[in-house]
Amino acid sequence: MIFNPNKAIYLQIAEHVCEQIVLEKWPSEVKIPSVRDLAIQLEVNPNTVMRTYDLLQQKGIINNKRGIGFFVAAEAITQVKRYRKALFMQDELPQLFRNVYLLDIDFDELKTLYKEFVDLNFNPKCDEKK
């Protein structure tokens, strides 16, 4: 994982974990890597991963089963989307709107580009039909 120097590492790791959950690479109620294992995998301090896991527990995304490890919460996808949506609306959307305004980008153009992006990146079968 390549870290952005302008954002706290534990938040970037939280984004990584959330992405694994939303993409269902880490399904609901499945054990996730231990603090130590994820720290080794991402080449970070275990305290950083622990801070990430604490945050995700507070958000209801993961649960700690004492003595067993951390698990994806039953409603994790819903919680991840709620958490990430709030962050996006607060941090990224204002900048996107600013650029759309300054560059005079039409919403129909954005809609077309968005659909193409989704089809290309998340619906590979759409390419086979074309």
The answer to whether position 113 is within a domain reads no
CA separation for the pair 53, 33 (Å, rounded): 11
Q: Is residue 125 very low, low, confident or very high in pLDDT (cuts 50, 70, 90)?
A: low
The answer to whether position 105 is within a domain reads no
CATH number at residue 53: 1.10.10.10
Question: Per-residue pLDDT for 42 more than 90?
Answer: yes
Domain count, the chain: 1
CA separation for the pair 107, 26 (Å, rounded): 35
Q: What tens digit of pLDDT does each residue of 88-119 get?
A: 999 999 999 999 999 999 999 999 999 999 99
Which of 65-69, 114-118, 120-124 comes out lowest in average pLDDT?
A: 120-124
The answer to whether position 42 is within a domain reads yes
Longest dimension (CA), the chain: 56
At 8 the pLDDT is 96
pLDDT, mean over the chain: 93
Which three-class secondary structure state does DSSP give residue 29?
A: coil
Question: Per-residue pLDDT for 130 more than 60?
Answer: no
The answer to whether position 81 is within a domain reads no
Q: Phi and psi of 17, rounded to 5°?
A: -60, -45
The answer to whether position 119 is within a domain reads no
CA separation for the pair 22, 72 (Å, rounded): 11
* Nearest one of 30, 38, 81, 29 to 59, comparing CA atoms: 81
Q: Are 113 and 107 in contact (CB under 8 A)?
A: no
Per the confidence metrics, is the pTM higher than 0.85?
Answer: no
Q: Which domain holds residue 33?
A: 9-76
The answer to whether position 130 is within a domain reads no
Q: Return the half-sphere exposure (C-beta side, CA atoms, 13 A cut-off) of residue 115.
A: 6
How far is C-alpha 10 from the geometric centre of its chain's CA atoms?
12
